[in-house]
C-alpha cells in the first residue's frame, strides 16, 4: 500500500489488515470489494444429490482487473455443517464484522485485537484471563 493511500484502503495483493490476525500472516488472503460481492456463491458442486460436496466461490480483487481469477473452496458435508454452526446464531453485523469472538470464559463478545488466548487457545477478555488464571494487575488494562 502506498503512503498516500487512504487508511482504510485495501491492497488487493496483500489483503490482510496490517497488524491484525498475526496467527494467519503466512496465509494467502483475498479481498472481495463491494463491486465483486455478486461473485460470491455457495452451492452443490454437482447435481445436488445427497452427500455431495458443496463449493464456495468468489472472485478476489486484483490491482489489474484482468488478473482476477475465481477462487473455489470445496466444502464436504461436514465442513458445510461446521460453517453453518459457526454462523447460524450471529447477527448480520457480527457475521460481517469478523473482528469479535465469544469469550471462552464469560461468553460475552471480545474484540479479537484486545483478546488473549486462554489455556485452550480460545479468545478471552484480559480481565477474564486474570480472574481465571491469575496474573499481574496491569494485564487487565494493557
Helix (H) or strand (E) holding 84: helix 77-87
**For 72-112, how does the pLDDT look when each residue is reduced to its tens digit (9 = 90+)?**
999 888 888 888 877 777 666 665 555 778 899 999 988 87
CA atoms within 13 A on the CB side of 52: 10
Q: Which three cell numbers stand for residue 80?
A: 458445510
CA distance 87 to 95: 7
pLDDT value at residue 93: 62
The closest of 94, 92, 91, 101 to 124, measured between CA atoms, is 101
The confidence band for 70, taking pLDDT boundaries of 50, 70 and 90, is: very high
- Give the domain ranges of the chain: 1-88, 92-142
Averaged pLDDT for residues 54-69: 93
pLDDT band at 1 (very low <50, low <70, confident <90, very high): very low
What CA–CA distance (Å, rounded) separates 77 from 56? Answer: 12
Is 135 or 37 the better-scoring residue by pLDDT? 37
Q: How far apart are CA 121 and CA 98, in angstroms?
A: 18
Residue range 102-125: average pLDDT?
A: 87
3-state secondary structure of 40: coil
Amino acid at each position: 500500500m502506498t503512503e498516500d493511500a487512504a487508511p482504510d484502503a485495501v491492497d488487493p495483493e496483500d489483503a490482510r489488515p496490517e497488524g491484525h490476525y498475526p496467527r494467519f500472516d503466512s496465509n494467502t488472503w483475498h479481498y472481495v470489494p463491494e463491486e465483486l460481492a455478486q461473485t460470491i456463491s455457495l452451492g452443490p458442486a454437482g447435481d445436488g444429490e445427497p452427500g455431495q460436496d458443496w463449493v464456495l466461490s468468489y472472485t478476489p480483487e486484483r490491482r489489474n482487473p484482468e488478473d482476477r481469477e475465481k477462487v473455489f473452496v470445496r466444502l464436504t458435508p461436514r465442513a458445510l455443517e461446521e460453517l453453518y454452526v459457526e454462523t447460524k446464531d450471529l447477527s448480520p453485523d457480527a457475521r460481517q464484522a469478523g473482528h469479535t469472538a465469544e469469550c471462552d470464559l464469560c461468553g460475552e463478545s471480545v474484540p479479537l485485537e484486545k483478546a488473549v488466548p486462554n489455556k485452550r487457545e480460545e479468545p478471552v477478555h484480559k480481565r477474564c484471563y486474570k480472574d481465571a488464571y491469575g496474573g499481574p494487575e496491569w494485564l487487565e488494562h494493557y
